Chain A
Amino acid sequence: MKISEQLALASCALLQPVTGNADGETWRVDSELLVYSESDGRVSILEPVANLGIDFEDESSLDVKLVIDAMTGATPNGAHASSSAQTFTRPSGNGEYTVAPGDIPLDDTFHDTRIALSADWLQPVIDDSTRLALGANVSSEFDYFSLGASATLLRDFNGRNTTLSAGIGLNSDTITPKGGIPDPLRNMTSAGTPANRSGDSDTKTTTDLLLGLTQVIDRRTIMQFNYTLGKVDGYQNDPYKIVPVIDPVTGLPIAQSGNDLPYLYENRPDSRTRQALFWQTVHHLSEDVIRVSYRHYRDDWGIDSDTVELKYRYVLGEHDYIQPRLRYYRQGAADFYAHGLYDGEPLPQYVTADYRQGEFDSITAGFRYGHSFDRRSELNFRFDLMQQNSKVIGTLVGDQLAQDVAPDLSALFVSVGYSVRW
């Protein structure tokens, strides 16, 4: 569980009277099944989540969460569409795939299932006003393993109207890509020929610090601020992403040279420092609840972003609600992001054509509908549409001008959820 989720649960404990069973404990099960589907034959995900929580009488609590991510489909490999057909070698090196003229090059190597398990424990310590939250998480997929832990200290003030928190999280990840670690900025080679790859795996370590403030503003309003500072060290390349080498006159990928295809493996810095400032306010009207949040993010790769989200919960009678939501996100590109490299120009130290490091904005709009059977259980449905609009960076030449080098992304989120308390 992320630290901010621990903080939110801790705030719940602040405000909520104990409503559990005769022993004073409350058991909670929250579950949800998400279907996420992108347009144009891209990624589809089936993701069930289940969280089991126990709130004990002494205000301690335990949460155990299981997430399963089943991914299918294909994801852009970094090259952009061209008026000529393009052939790419699969990461295993043993096969290839050809993309038709005008199509976004997509790689379907990452069909995979990820399993993640996390446990979080919240415990009063020292006195009635201080609590400690401890968390551990592990996740595994065929080419990625992650292990992490976190600790957060929370202190209440002002008659439990103010909570300050300070937390630290550590994650250690091991990346074992299919085919081995690609040599940065070396060429992808033809199928069946020696690949420019060295070593089976690499690692990265993430350290995050969080400072949080939760403040009750009045009987109907609560506000939260979080500042997070993170440092990631180690292997941060996407081993499946390439950067096309483009002829500066024709705008087409250059011709193959021996076994070398006109695509280079990307290279990102092995250090990343990032900061985020997050603000959220929840306000209860006479019946409805409005929730608004803003996040500003920046890092030393040159990416900066702003996220605004609004949710409005309309109460429909005693048992039902509908909650529309609107999320706007904008991002500036990483310093080393490019749609391609021009043949003949000096190689940069770092470069990626991964659209997720580019410049784009995104709107997600939808709603959640919930029905409670009694005060202790709820069935809900969620439906969202996301539209991500990527921007062209820099100057394009020749054939690039006739192609969509920064294609948009549309995605659908549909989920069903069930929660019960006893």
Chain B
Amino acid sequence: MKFRIVLCCAIALPACSSLNTVKPWDKDILARPEMSLTDSLTGDALDTHIFFSKEGSSGGSGMGGGGCGCN
């Protein structure tokens, strides 16, 4: 149930007319490196590997069960 609610919201988002389309010339702040969806290319990869090795979950911020005999 939780999945379905969040998925519906996610799908509805692009159609929301209340979301103001941001013009290309207004994307100065969004274009800054600190606004990247990846906080740190190497840091996030290291975190993902460590947490995947120490926990029973994977995916979301990473995908693929291969790569090591960790989990």
Contacts and interface: CB of A to CB of B under 8 A. Distances in A.
Contacts of B6: 225, 277, 279
Interface in A216-259: 216-220, 222-228, 230, 232, 238
Contacts of B35: 15, 222, 282, 284, 289
Contact of B71 (A157, A161, A217, A356): A356
B67 A291 contact: no
A143 B70 CA distance: 11
Contact of B54 (A1, A208, A356): A356
B63 A282 contact: no
A329 B19 CA distance: 32
A297 B64 contact: no
Interface stretch (A30-38, A85-93, A99-107, A343-351): A30-38
A8 B38 contact: yes
Interface in A317-356: 321, 323, 329, 331, 334, 356
A382 interface: yes
B61 A4 contact: yes
B56 to A, nearest CB: 5
Nearest to B37: A8
Q: Please indicate which of the listed interface residues A2, A36, A47, A296 has the most CB atoms of chain B within 10 Å of its own CB.
A: A2
Nearest to B6: A277
A297 B22 contact: no
B10 A159 contact: no
Given A30-B41, A295-B61, A15 B7 contact: no
B66 A4 contact: no
A368 B69 contact: no
A357 B53 CA distance: 11
A385 interface: no
Contact of A65 (B2, B23, B33, B45): B45
A127 interface: no
Given A31-B42, A331-B55, A368-B43, A144 B68 contact: yes
Contacts of A11: 36-37
21 contacts: A5-B44, A5-B62, A9-B38, A15-B27, A32-B40, A116-B67, A146-B68, A208-B65, A218-B19, A219-B30, A225-B10, A230-B65, A279-B6, A284-B35, A289-B34, A297-B60, A329-B51, A329-B57, A382-B43, A386-B54, A409-B54
Given A2-B62, A204-B65, 5 more contacts: A116-B67, A160-B24, A230-B64, A278-B61, A417-B43
Interface of A: 1-5, 7-9, 11-12, 15-17, 30-32, 34, 36, 45, 47, 49-51, 65, 67, 69, 114, 116, 137, 139, 141, 143-144, 146-148, 150, 157-162, 164, 167, 169, 171-173, 175, 204, 206, 208, 210, 213-220, 222-228, 230, 232, 238, 274-280, 282, 284, 289, 291, 293, 295-297, 301, 303, 305, 307, 311, 313, 321, 323, 329, 331, 334, 356-357, 362, 368, 380, 382, 386, 388, 409, 411, 413, 415, 417, 419
